[in-house]
Structure 1
């Protein structure tokens, strides 16, 4: 009898073929309040996760991390010398304010991106011009070939976002009200409680099948609510209780809490990424190379990773900037990794004439593993002779303070392993950390100009070696990321930046 009732009910709903029903509200617990809704001006994951539903780029990445068209009609036509990109735009696309997408919007947006976005700045001196070629086409001229250009244009982080030209401000002014072409638009925002996204009724999706971020983007949920939950354990408990449908960035020890749950399940992203110690090369203590070398010599990466993740199924002690299996994997320079040598560090500090000035480490507990690594490192650094000042703030405040080089020596962050090394802006002098030296800059310039894959791999090996020699930035190791989702949630592919436009709830 029950089976008959179920079939009748399913038939009445028109959904015999699938147990999932689109619509409803998807509640997503994120690590904190996004400090901006303009993805062009931020490299924060929490900003990318939210804004990618509203604002789109010319290109995106498919499920295999290949560049694919989004607002562009197709991949560009590139001249034989590699310096001219002709980009046709999709026709009939509209912004959520009702205006039609055209080439003027693209030109204005990309010109702003080159001026103010951290990743745009890395390529700005290589762009000769961006020109409209009629209403539905754009030409980008480069001063020299630049292999990572399409990857930069595809990335949702420090994004080359496309806005209506009417709202693109002059100079560095912020955008007061963000308008995009994506499947959702911003609804109600109650700060520190939730940010509501609602479907944009005029959205024009691509027609090709969904494939990662590429292809057709749907409007599955009637509403997506991003809920800032700074405490990681509260994110876990909210997921287990059924309050949240999805929770980002969970502590490793919560895996055993989620696994037996009847309402939620763990989502483990293997070989996800690497924790990074970003070093201030613009001002302060670490402008001295010998002190940077002392820092690298003192850090006990194995202890730091164990403190952060607790179980080696969640991490690997590995100094290569890309794991085995990636084409960018190389062991060049890694003999300097995980020295864990306080005596050597003390000798280097003496050689540098270190006077006891505090080493300021800027971190947050919203990513609990950042804080746990810093705690262990502090003890090791003090044993080597450093005086350490831990500045523990919320993630939004960290994002603001790291823009002022007078306020920190190190800030702790993390990154997924990215398909193109040039997406890591710390390689470039224009980045927030300001790392620059003639040899490294020459190698990086050669890397981004080279189009031959084998030659690029050799150049990247040189870049990794130079990073260890000069201590440009510090990789702690590899880690697997833990997320969680309700067992009733479907249509959310595992991703460093999860998206919910094709989500459904049973």
Structure 2
């Protein structure tokens, strides 16, 4: 057996992310692509700074607070206040223990033995034991879509109150990373909460985290309060790992969908922190004496084709659209400063160095109108409408869609821009497949290829291509990282050259900001509010 304790040997794949801080400040403008951005460091300089109410302006209403069931970033960022997982990721995207004290991995990488931390209390004052972990993990396997085929036929058993054993039918170099993922997280809840959950998901929010749930007033706010009996680990804070300290008495996530309202509230002091501020306010934020702005890598902007209905089922039509696109022009319209975005053909975020790939790069950012027209002729295109679905709820998605519309019109496509609010957009993306041909959206950073919605078998009709399904399964069960990387390189090349399920347009930073009387804020797969505190 190989033992991993507190600095987990980092599974077989290691997922090391080379990151550089990209927090902007008044003296320096550094916009390196990083998902580990700290505005003023996360070490508390004054032990006596405690209390107060943190007021956060969130940009959208979470679809629910059932962490395993949705990839929504609003759910991820709010529920991490109250929920924790067996493993989590440090600033290098390495999987390290959180609620687990250690994990032993068998030589064949099929058996994982988790030793749980003792004395960890749920918010209802019940101690966490193996029965809670097993119930929670089985719920996660039922609800989460990031598990892929890794856990098919897997079993979870307990040898005592503080030891849980996972047995896989096939080994996988991605097992620990998937368990540690912040997306659709494998959170641990009391057994009785899981068993009482209605079919639509968890509605009794009890975890082990530094803050506990108080109430959710729909379309108004989500309220958390300090969990006085929280038991932190003693390791130095890093990414989502290490010591967590709840310095605030209360935390409110106010639902503020209008960006100008979030900005105005931050400027007046109504809010202490604001999500996703308008990019054209960046200079204004930088010059404001009481505000500190943060740029941090967030997601990839993409154009996704409807591969199940309508005209974009035709591969030649997809080729024509791809050949017509000038990705730099699209990204400049969406993010009007080159500090806010970068061009990259990789489906995986360029900063996830173990998975970054340039395969298929020759089909990226082609900007070739003549070739696009040739593909249209080969497809027998005869002026049919191609419906571009977009939303105004996120300016950058809408602005990108407008440029795509113009670029397609320029090659003779009868492009129509259909604009919806965000909830309707999401509903049509999954349930109204006959009502759109392409859509503009984004995919938040993930740590392994099987988590990509671009190649998902379910998102927006899914990718039902047999090779994609087969290769993803092979990646999941590859015994070594090197074999998995080679498989992924081949799959991305195939996707660009022979399938074209999406066009990855480019990666972009999110713009957050907070009042200068706060310190300790960090950003890693979204803002992290534990260890933050007021200075006055």
TM-score normalised to the size of structure 2? 0.84
Contact 2:63-2:72 within 8 A present in 1 as well: no
User: Is 1:479 aligned to residue 508 of structure 2?
Assistant: yes
How far apart are 1:441 and its partner, in Å? 2.8
User: Is 1:460 aligned to residue 488 of structure 2?
Assistant: yes
Map 1:98-137 onto structure 2 (within 5 A): 98-120=125-147, 122-123=148-149, 126-137=152-163
Contact 2:352-2:447 within 8 A present in 1 as well: no
- Alignment CA distance shift 1:69-1:286 (3 Å): farther
Contact 1:315-1:479 within 8 A present in 2 as well: yes
How far apart are 1:60 and its partner, in Å? 0.9
- Alignment CA distance shift 1:21-1:408 (3 Å): farther
Aligned length: 488
Give the aligned partner of residue 274 of structure 1.
Answer: 300
Please give the alpha-carbon distance, in whole angstroms, between the structure 1 residues aligned to 2:139 and 2:247: 32
Please give the alpha-carbon distance, in whole angstroms, between the structure 1 residues aligned to 2:406 and 2:234: 56
Contact 2:149-2:476 within 8 A present in 1 as well: no
1:407-431 deviation digits (Å, cap 9, x = unpaired): 5444433234433333324334255
Between 93-102 and 426-435, the greater mean CA deviation after superposition: 426-435
Give the aligned partner of residue 429 of structure 1.
Answer: 457
Q: Secondary structure at the match of 1:414?
A: strand
Give the aligned partner of residue 450 of structure 1.
Answer: 478
How far apart are 1:363 and its partner, in Å? 3.1
Q: Secondary structure at the match of 2:81?
A: coil
How far apart are 1:432 and its partner, in Å? 4.9
Give the aligned partner of residue 149 of structure 1.
Answer: 175
How far apart are 1:477 and its partner, in Å? 1.0
Contact 2:116-2:130 within 8 A present in 1 as well: yes
How far apart are 1:53 and its partner, in Å? 0.5
Q: Secondary structure at the match of 1:313?
A: coil
- Alignment CA distance shift 1:73-1:471 (3 Å): same
Give the aligned partner of residue 84 of structure 1.
Answer: 111
Please give the alpha-carbon distance, in whole angstroms, between the structure 2 residues aligned to 1:20 and 1:252: 36
User: Is 1:218 aligned to residue 245 of structure 2?
Assistant: yes
Contact 1:186-1:197 within 8 A present in 2 as well: yes
User: Is 1:402 aligned to residue 437 of structure 2?
Assistant: no
How far apart are 1:503 and its partner, in Å? 1.2
Q: CA RMSD in A?
A: 2.6
Contact 1:148-1:422 within 8 A present in 2 as well: no
How far apart are 1:476 and its partner, in Å? 0.7
Contact 2:91-2:524 within 8 A present in 1 as well: no
Please give the alpha-carbon distance, in whole angstroms, between the structure 1 residues aligned to 2:240 and 2:428: 31
1:252-304 deviation digits (Å, cap 9, x = unpaired): 221101011011021122x5442123444344443332322222222221111
Contact 2:211-2:225 within 8 A present in 1 as well: yes
Give the aligned partner of residue 289 of structure 1.
Answer: 315
Give the aligned partner of residue 36 of structure 2.
Answer: none
What are the ranges of 5 or more consecutive residues in structure 1 without an aligned counterpart? 1-15
Give the aligned partner of residue 23 of structure 2.
Answer: none
Q: Secondary structure at the match of 1:50?
A: helix
Please give the alpha-carbon distance, in whole angstroms, between the structure 2 residues aligned to 1:374 and 1:141: 46
Give the aligned partner of residue 227 of structure 1.
Answer: 254
Which of 85, 100, 104 matches 1:72? Answer: 100
Please give the alpha-carbon distance, in whole angstroms, between the structure 2 residues aligned to 1:325 and 1:68: 17
1:62-94 deviation digits (Å, cap 9, x = unpaired): 1221111111122x2111111121112222222
How far apart are 1:465 and its partner, in Å? 0.6
User: Is 1:412 aligned to residue 424 of structure 2?
Assistant: no
Contact 2:474-2:487 within 8 A present in 1 as well: yes
How far apart are 1:403 and its partner, in Å? 3.0
- Alignment CA distance shift 1:311-1:472 (3 Å): same
- Alignment CA distance shift 1:397-1:133 (3 Å): farther
Give the aligned partner of residue 50 of structure 1.
Answer: 78
What are the ranges of 5 or more consecutive residues in structure 2 without an aligned counterpart? 1-43
Contact 2:183-2:446 within 8 A present in 1 as well: no
User: Is 1:504 aligned to residue 533 of structure 2?
Assistant: yes
Which of 188, 196, 206 matches 2:233? Answer: 206
Please give the alpha-carbon distance, in whole angstroms, between the structure 2 residues aligned to 1:130 and 1:432: 32
4+ residue runs over 6 A deviation: none
- Alignment CA distance shift 1:152-1:401 (3 Å): farther
- Alignment CA distance shift 1:81-1:97 (3 Å): same
How far apart are 1:335 and its partner, in Å? 0.8
Give the aligned partner of residue 26 of structure 2.
Answer: none
Give the aligned partner of residue 365 of structure 2.
Answer: 338
